[in-house]
Amino acid sequence: MDLLKTLGLFIATALAEIVGCYLPYLWLKQDRSAWLLVPAALSLALFAWLLSLHPTAAGRVYAAYGGVYIGVAVLWLWAVDKVTPSTSDWVGVAVCFVGMGIIMFGPRSAG
């Protein structure tokens, strides 16, 4: 899987997970309708399915996905929560992206 497809799939996966967790948050913390749990469950099911589309070992995918999730979560902070990320937030995202790249695309030993 090439870099752009992998990154795009990770971003879609992160959005599905964040939406699946954000909707119950709205229900629990902001007294919104319990009906939000239905699309939340569907979004989390989509999240699990999207993770299964990667052609590499599940543990490696989960580890690398974590870095992308952090980046998307910081963008969510900015776009949805209307909180401007700090320089430290962006540096942390960059470090996570480097880690994701090493995990997903680094050399592998046979076996």
On whether residue 15 sits in a domain, the answer given is: yes
Percent of the chain with pLDDT over 90: 57
* 32 within domain boundaries: yes
Average model confidence (pLDDT) across the chain: 89
Compute CA distances 32 → 37, 82, 91, whole Å: 10, 19, 34
Answer whether residue 82 is part of any domain.
yes
Tell me the pLDDT tens digit for each residue of 26-53.
999 999 999 999 999 999 999 999 988 8
* Segments forming the whole domain that contains residue 31: 3-105
Question: How many domains, in total, are found in the chain?
Answer: 1
**90 domain-assigned:** yes
Average pLDDT over residues 8-21: 92
In a domain, 111, yes or no: no
**What is the per-residue pLDDT for 57?**
67
Locus of tokens 């996966």: 13
* DSSP conformational letter for 50: H
Predicted TM-score of the model (pTM): 0.80
